[in-house]
Amino acid sequence: MTQSLITIAYIAASALFILSLGGLSQQETARRGNLYGIIGMLIALVATAAAMNTGGLPVLFGALIPGMVIGGIVASRVQMTSMPELVAALHSFVGLAAVLVGFATYLDPNASVKSAAEHNLHLGEIFIGVCIGSITFTGSVIAFLKLRGSIGGKPFMIPGRHLINLAMLIGTIVLGVYFFMLSGGSHSMPAAYVLLAATIVTGILGIHFIMAIGGADMPVVVSMLNSYSGWAAAAAGFMLSNDLLIITGALVGSSGAILSYIMCRGMNRSFVSVMLGGFGTEGGVSPAAGSGPQGEVHSIDASAAADLLQNARKIIIVPGYGLAVAQAQHSLAEVCKILKEKSIEVKFAIHPVAGRLPGHMNVLLAEANIPYDIVFEMDEVNDQFKDTDVSWVIGANDIVNPSAMDDPGSPIAGMPVLHVWEARDTIVMKRSMASGYAGVDNPLFYKENTLMLFGDAKKVVDEILTVMRN
């Protein structure tokens, strides 16, 4: 394949990646967006392979084919509840790849001779790319372990953590200067050891950053690491002089940064505050006796809930991570079908940080073939609760906590929440009275119009479905 054809292929792939991002911005076009991305990546792989020397093709395909098989198997078997940790794991691979590309590029004995200016620019590309990749790799590994539950979601706050982060950042800059000095006009092993030291320091920095972020901020962490992985890929593209990799990395990095901003705005949090240490404790921690709001809890069973739903005119359902854990979305879709057949208006309200991954609830509902036109974002539906007969909360907690509006001292103060309590009646489905990921009690549970329905979401929704069918 001639260079001109490769250039055309790269342009086509870049256009498809842009179309892919555009498609993924809407539920209705998400499948098409994924298809554009797949086709673009296939074109990019073929063009890159065609540009290589034939001697390197066996090594390329020896790594590419097993990777594709493993990736396909893992993706086909992953559950929706495990999707956030899979995404974090994939981000770590991108970071590690950037580190390995940086070292391979620096130690390449066949590297072409460059002018002094080009040489210094190339050294900068290598050093920055390796450092970003190292932070992305270790930070993503910690995010994976937190999301998987292997380590706790409680933020790890050590004394003077900001000074420690600053010291590591300054140390990295000093190592960068030393790296340039030792490299001089050519590459050297002492400079490679300095690069390795910078990799270790930035790797520790990545661990410390993510360890200090609490469970309530994990959706922001996932989108933030997505941005990091994009910039790491772009850095690798500069090191390899691959225009397509630069473009793709920049697209992922910028879109991830925008998504992080949207997620932070949805939590009324600044990006800097999340990075410098989050809030939250491990999910599922029961509030201490005598702490937080107190009051009488009104509970109902599945039969009473089914009657309440069937006698309503308008229902808004708020899904949360508990719905994903219980895998209750398919049974819920059947309930919605029955309600619609009874001419009952049903809508879904999605909070920006519901679940542990941006768009987690949207994908979950789409998996159950729930129509896109009844799924609404928080800003679109929040003012409709006051005209709703029943708001139905399934496995959500912090995103429907009124203390975010009423208690200035709450850890989630100022966070935009769904006003489910404004409906005539509110059904809250939970396993227990345990707090959410922010570790605070929820006054919603004690309101006069709130009815608690305890139990596993899948089992309870199945019981409601059985009542409705009889």
- pLDDT the model gives residue 26: 76
Angle of helix 3-24 versus helix 30-51 axis, rounded to 10: 160
Cα separation values, 172 from 130, 134, 191, 453, Å: 11, 12, 14, 53
Lowest-pLDDT range of 7-16, 137-146, 347-356:
347-356
pLDDT score at 156: 77
Q: pTM of the predicted model, to two decimals?
A: 0.75
Would you state the pLDDT for residue 130?
Answer: 94
Residue type, 37: G
pLDDT for position 393: 96
Instruction: Cite the active site residues.
Output: 398
**Which of 34-48, 213-227, 232-246, 295-309 comes out lowest in average pLDDT?**
213-227
User: What tokens does 355 get?
Assistant: 């679940």
CA-CA distance, 383 to 416, in Å (whole number)? Answer: 13
pLDDT tens for residues 23-81? 887 777 888 898 999 999 999 988 888 888 777 788 888 888 898 899 888 888 887 67
Kind of pairing, strands 375-377 and 345-350? Answer: parallel
Dihedral over Cα of 346, 352, 357, 358: its sign:
positive
Encode pLDDT of 339-391 as tens digits: 999 999 999 999 987 877 777 888 889 888 899 889 999 989 999 999 999 99
Distance of CA 284 to the CA centre of its chain: 21
Share of the chain above pLDDT 90, in %: 40
Per DSSP, the residues of 54-67 read GGGHHHHHHHHHHH
Of the candidate ranges 141-145, 268-272, 425-429, the one whose mean pLDDT is the lowest: 268-272
Whole-angstrom Cα distance, residue 223 to residue 145? 16
Choose among 217, 399, 424: nearest CA to 308.
424
Q: How far apart are CA 452 and CA 424, in angstroms?
A: 15
What's the length of the chain? 470
Please, which pLDDT band fits residue 1 given cuts at 50, 70 and 90?
A: low
- CA separation for the pair 279, 274 (Å, rounded): 8
156 or 323, which is more confident: 323
Position 280 scores a pLDDT of 41
Nearest to 158 by CA among 212, 210, 207: 212
- Cβ–Cβ < 8 Å for 415, 433: no
- Mean pLDDT across 201-225: 82
Cα(61)–Cα(49) distance, integer angstroms: 9
Question: Are the C-beta atoms of 49 and 6 separated by less than 8 Å?
Answer: no
From 277, 261, 8, select the one nearest 253 (Cα to Cα).
Answer: 261
Q: What is the pLDDT of residue 437?
A: 61
Q: What distances in angstroms separate CA 446 from CA 36, 225, 255, 441, one per listed residue? A: 48, 38, 40, 10
In which band, very low, low, confident or very high, does the pLDDT at 453 lie, cut at 50, 70 and 90?
very high
Predicted local confidence at residue 285, as pLDDT: 42
Nearest to 141 by CA among 190, 188, 85, 99: 85
Give the integer Cα–Cα distance in Å for 193 and 332: 57
Residue whose C-alpha is closest to residue 440's, from 339, 306, 292, 316: 292
User: In sequence order, what E strands does 344-406 have?
Assistant: 345-350, 375-377, 390-394
* 147, HSE (Cβ side, Cα atoms, 13 Å): 27
CB neighbours (10 Å) of residue 14? 19
Give CA 254 to chain center in angstroms: 15
At 126, the amino acid letter reads I
Residue 425: beta bridge partners? 390
Full DSSP string of 106-132: HH-TTPPP--HHHHHHHHHHHHHHHHH
* β partners of residue 347: 316
